[in-house]
Structure 1
Amino acid sequence: MWAYLFVMFFIIAALIGFIIFAYAVTDKGSGRRVPNRAYSDYYLQDYSGWLKERVASDSYWRKIGSCIRDSKVCGKMGRTINGVPETVDMFYNRKLSPIESGCCKPPTECGFTYQNETVWTPSGGVVYNTDCNSWNSDQEQLCYSCNSCKAGVLASLRKSWRKVSVINIIILIILVIVYVIGCAAFRNNRRIDNDEPYGEARMTKSQPSRIQL
């Protein structure tokens, strides 16, 4: 019982540490609402901390960008209605995931002209967002090298980590309850063990001595 409670204590402590860590690295950052759009745009400068530095580093981003490209998430965005591709107004009313919004289309402020979900034509205006120059309608490039794509990945991680943290909090509550019950059982067993010698001594004294004839 003692060993069981000892292991449980460290499991609970580790779970608390993970929950605190998950909330600490995902405490900042979210999408920016765009007027007349159902989706949000994502900016890397809205995020900070260890997770941002990890995702944005070149060594890690090459692997992450390759995974996004191989998943074909942008290629799956196409929609048709009765064989006709959706119009720009239909696209603007779509709720895109952070990765779809950040990696598969240029930022809204670039002012590009919509052709389809993953093909946009530059307008030629002057925009001070480097992602506008990084965008390419080549389906192998799109905005995979954009900061908005990195921000979209961060937003997706933030959402998934927060969901995992909620599940971990529920598990933590259950473990704490079990731990408290275990502690109560352990104390009760120790009390019984301490009382047994005294009880046996009382019983021995109370027994009448046999008279040998």
Structure 2
Amino acid sequence: MFRLSNNLIGVLNFVTFLLSLPILGGGIWLATRGGVTDCEKFLQTPLILIGVFFMLVSLAGLVGACCRNTLLLSIYLSVMFILIVVLTVFTVFAFVVTNKGAGEVTSNRGYKEYRLGDYSHWLQKRVENSKNWARIRACLSEAKVCQSLRESNQTFDQFISDNLSPIESGCCKPPSECNFDYQNATLWTAPATDANSSNPDCSTWSNNQSILCYDCRSCKAGVIANAKDKWKKIAILNIIILIFLIIVYSVGCCAFRNNRRDNDGPVGWKGGYA
């Protein structure tokens, strides 16, 4: 009777192999499609690498379990162990670097204001790096994150009561403390006096619709706040994945033990291990 653990590892890796196909296909499609934006180009290489990685690991686990190949199964288990360690480290790191910082509630505003200094130094350094920010800025511009605000035609009272996203609040308008006069959501007039020049974002703001506050510290803070929310969700998902991987790793260890017993046992002998 074929071992239960070998069967289970085989089925799980067959499913993983099938899941790797659309990931790899998506990366190849982005790489070969014309008119790809810089943001999409940034995604294509990771997608291809992730797709190839899961495909090879799945094949190693599938062949190792179903064909009772001890070498391939040992490679599979080694990769799984490394993956468990990496995910554990990343999950802990994600909770640590996203623990600090939050948007500040402003009086009579439905949205929050975001300050770069409120967040962890590691995240600040990532967005303040000129090369990183040039890529992020290009993505914000290509995604037209401020276009919906520009087309909303809201009155000032409607605008300040709106629940803006961190990126909209930080990148599409000047900080409230600058006391700019509202024309529309993405068009503001500087006050006659320069009383708030201590905030560099007040002078960085531009009514040029391709610039706006994309170079403001508040925009960088808004990007971090948006990433922080996603990182926390990913960290929670990682915990679920880790539990699943540990279970699969344990079953894989049973399959590995079965393979060794079969290879060490007499020819033609079949056991009934799990």
Larger Rg: 1
Q: In the alignment, does 2:187 pair up with 1:119? A: yes
RMSD value, Cα = 2.4
2:23 paired residue number: none
Identity, % of aligned positions:
49
Counterpart residue type for residue 93 of structure 2: F
Distance in 2 of aligned mates of 1:148 and 1:86: 22
With normalisation by structure 2, the TM-score equals 0.63
Equivalent-residue separation in structure 2 for 1:90 and 1:180 (angstroms): 57
Offset, 1:123: 2.0
Output one character per residue of 1:67-118: Cα deviation in whole Å (capped at 9) or x when no partner. 21222111221354xxxx2211111111111111000000011111111110
Where does residue 169 of structure 2 map in the other structure? 101
In the TM superposition, residue 191 of structure 1 has moved relative to its aligned partner by 8.3
CA distance in 1, matches of 2:174, 2:155: 17
Which residue identity does 1:116 align to in structure 2? N
Cα deviation for residue 190 of structure 1 reads 7.1
Residue aligned with 2:188, SS = strand
Amino acid at match of 2:150: G
Contact 2:80 2:249 in 1 (8 A): yes
User: For residues 26-59 of structure 1, what are the alpha-carbon distances to aligned partners after superposition, in whole Å with 9 as ceiling and x for unaligned?
Assistant: 2222111111111101111111222210111222
Are the counterparts in 1 of residues 117 and 124 from structure 2 also a CA contact under 8 Å?
no
Tell me if 1:7 matches 2:74: no
Match of 2:207 in 1: 137
Q: Which residue of 2 aligns with 1:71?
A: 143
More helix as a share of residues = 2
Q: 1:50 aligned to 2:122?
A: yes
Question: Which residue identity is paired with 2:97?
Answer: V
CA distance in 2, matches of 1:75, 1:5: 49
| Pairing 1:175–2:218 present | no
**Amino acid in structure 2 at the alignment position of 1:15:** L
Residue 159 of structure 1 corresponds to 229
Distance 1:5 1:146 in 2: 47
How many angstroms apart in 1 are the aligned matches of 2:78 and 2:116? 43
Q: CA deviation at 1:163?
A: 1.3
Count of aligned pairs: 193
- Displacement after TM superposition at 1:65 (Å): 1.4
CA distance, structure 1, for counterparts of residue 175 and residue 77 of structure 2: 53
Structure 2: gaps of 5 or more residues:
1-69, 267-274
Question: What amino acid does structure 2 have at the position aligned with 1:97?
Answer: S
SS in 2 for 1:66: helix
Classify the secondary structure of the residue corresponding to 1:144.
Answer: coil
TM-score (normalised: structure 1)? 0.80
Q: Which of 84, 104, 109 is the equivalent residue of 1:37? A: 109
Q: Distance in 2 between matches of 1:123 and 1:171?
A: 53
- Shifted more, 149-158 versus 23-32: the winner is 23-32
Q: Is the 8 A contact 2:91 2:235 kept in 1?
A: yes
CA distance in 2, matches of 1:131, 1:52: 16
